[in-house]
Amino acid sequence: MGTKYTIKKIISLIKSELKSYYPIKEIDSFIFIILNHLLGYSRAQIHLKLEKAADENLIEQINFYINELKNYKPIQYIMGKTEFYDLLFQVNSGVLIPRPETEELVELIIKENQNHFNKILDIGTGSGCIAIALAKNLPKSYVYAVDNATDALALTRQNSKLNHVDIHISHLDILDHNHYFNESFDIIVSNPPYVTEKEKELMQPNVLNFEPQNALFVPDNNPLLYYRAIIDFSLKHLNKDGRLYLEVNENFGIETAMLLEEKNFHDIQLKKDINDKYRMLRCILK
């Protein structure tokens, strides 16, 4: 390579290559994430090392990131990892990238269930982020995690090892009415697919082209499909006074709450996320 590359030059290369693809704020955040991942630099260190020479290997890796980002591949999938609730998780395109609103759901569960032993089930666990964050932060409890995708379960298992938690991981298709599951729980939690086909049009290519469709979408004519199945399951597998926590589609919070009311649930609370959208439901089985 003829020109000598410095960290400063790498930063301007990333900026100029990506400027027609992403807003500048997002590019700035990519720059930090990439340099932190490849070199272990903090934000302050990046500023101190601007004149440092970069080797060929680093430039090759940077070019790989740039090309993947031009295809709108999410940065978390390129790196194969992300953070959730201050914990590290491996991710791949078989599982959703954990979202900040799901951290809010986890926070609510932790806040409300500090002091007792609870047997907890996470339905549709994916990367395992909810189950593992709960196991880590509610050490008196025992957590079960299920998913219908076996490749996702392999990753759940890896993530439980990575975070040194002992959770029970098994296969369950919540939509299969013949499933056999011989356990009961104090808490059931789920962030099921809830984005309607209609809402798909509003989504970005990084989500649409890379995240698993079966973890996101529901038919327009049956948007509460998973919630009905989870509620039926909970009626059978939740202990008396057991709690159900759900992440919901902001447009269907009230309908989902009504569904719970028709069944045997009380003390139903619909809560907003930091973006002021109805996102969490929590209720208690009578």
Name the site residues for ligand GLN (rule: CB under 6 A). 99, 191-195, 207, 216, 247
Kindly state the smallest distance separating residue 215's Cβ from ligand GLN, in Å. Answer: 7
Location of structure tokens 């990519």: 30
Kindly state the smallest distance separating residue 197's Cβ from ligand GLN, in Å. Answer: 12
Closest C-alpha to 163, from 80, 57, 90, 272: 90
Kindly state the smallest distance separating residue 44's Cβ from ligand GLN, in Å. Answer: 33
Closest C-alpha to 7, from 46, 42, 57, 56: 46
- The DSSP code sequence of 188-229 is EEE----EEHHHHTTS-HHHHHHS-GGGTEE-TT-TTHHHHH
Kindly state the smallest distance separating residue 273's Cβ from ligand GLN, in Å. Answer: 9
Location of structure tokens 């999410």: 74
Specify the residue, 186 or 211, whose C-beta has the smaller distance to ligand GLN: 211
Specify the residue, 225 or 284, whose C-beta has the smaller distance to ligand GLN: 225
Contact (Cβ atoms closer than 8 angstroms) between residue 237 and residue 188:
yes
Location of structure tokens 């993530």: 159
Kindly state the smallest distance separating residue 211's Cβ from ligand GLN, in Å. Answer: 7
Specify the residue, 194 or 278, whose C-beta has the smaller distance to ligand GLN: 194
Kindly tell me the burial class for residue 277, based on how many C-beta atoms sit within 10 Å of its own C-beta (0-12, 13-18, 19 or more).
middle
Specify the residue, 16 or 209, whose C-beta has the smaller distance to ligand GLN: 209
Instruction: Write the CA distances from 187 to 41, 106, 242, 277, integer angstroms.
Output: 40, 12, 6, 24
Kindly state the smallest distance separating residue 57's Cβ from ligand GLN, in Å. Answer: 35
Specify the residue, 18 or 218, whose C-beta has the smaller distance to ligand GLN: 218
Specify the residue, 74 or 242, whose C-beta has the smaller distance to ligand GLN: 74
Closest C-alpha to 189, from 245, 229, 141: 245
Contact (Cβ atoms closer than 8 angstroms) between residue 49 and residue 7:
yes
